[in-house]
Amino acid sequence: MIRLLFLGDIVGEPGRVAAKVVVADVLKEAAVDFVVVNGENSAQGRGITPKIAIDLLRSGVAVITSGDHIWDQKEILPYIPTEPRLLRPLNYPPGVPGHGSIVLDTAKGKIAVMNVQCRTFMPQPLENPFHAALAEVERLRAETRVIFVDVHGETTSEKTAMGRFLDGKVSAVVGTHTHTQTADERILPGGTAFLCDAGMCGAVDSILGREAQAVLRKFQDCLPCRFPVARGPVHVCGALIEIDPTTGLASSIARFKRLVDHH
């Protein structure tokens, strides 16, 4: 059995520190075999830098997924083609730097990770994620049946639809982007584990990982303002999934949440 831990959107330095603490703990406990994190908000709450990506990978993270903020830090553009373990959504047009999936050899066999971005209410609509996902899954299944999918999107309907669409074809479909962990974890009829949103690795006393008062001002006066990353204790949220390496299907999925007292 393969035990895969996925952690949702890492928000800023507090989220990074807390996520690394948890990754070190679960790897030391031998509680998981493979760790994936979404790092698209890990640099001051927007994007990711090469230094942060390297730091996360050195901490024991196997693959970093992302989403619509992947390009927010300008230095990531020349870096992303050099690091295949840092994914951008696969449904960008041809010729865009980086990769939307990866297959890694592990002690328990090959594990694939795939990153796809939804279109509904997203700031920059990409190619049809359903067409792109199906084509990529068919390609990956030639190498391994163990396939984890991070579906990055705003609406529960589109992410749930992706789970149903890929049911029986991949090991797990877990959503990101809303920073709020949902309570709909389940094994779909075809054997694919599903959770609509993994949640975030961000400050508990916040609004989606940002200082609450700044966000409240924006909702009240509608004026432009900065949203500083909130500090304090961090909830590290995600999903823990058990996968049969022979069939590639999931036997269980559980929401994951740990509190890390970050200062």
Which of 201, 121, 195 lies closest to 154, judged by CA?
A: 121
Specify whether 69 is catalytic.
Answer: yes
The pairing of strands 186-187 and 234-243 is: unpaired
The tokens of 70 are what? 């992947």
- CA-based nearest residue to 36, from 127, 101, 91, 108: 101
3-state secondary structure 87-101: ECCCCCCCCCCCECE
Tokens representing 101? 């999936």
Element (H, E) at 34: strand 34-38
**Which member of 69, 152, 177, 262 is catalytic?**
69
d(CA 2, CA 173): 16
- For residue 244, the Cα-to-chain-centroid distance in whole angstroms is 21
Residues 1-34: b if buried by 16+ CB within 10 A, e if exposed: ebbbbbbbbbbbbbbbbbbbbbbeebbeeeebbb
Rounded Cα distance between 155 and 25, Å, is 32
Q: How far apart are CA 90 and CA 63, in angstroms?
A: 14
> How many residues would you count in the chain?
263
Q: Would you please indicate which residues are annotated as catalytic (active-site) residues? A: 69
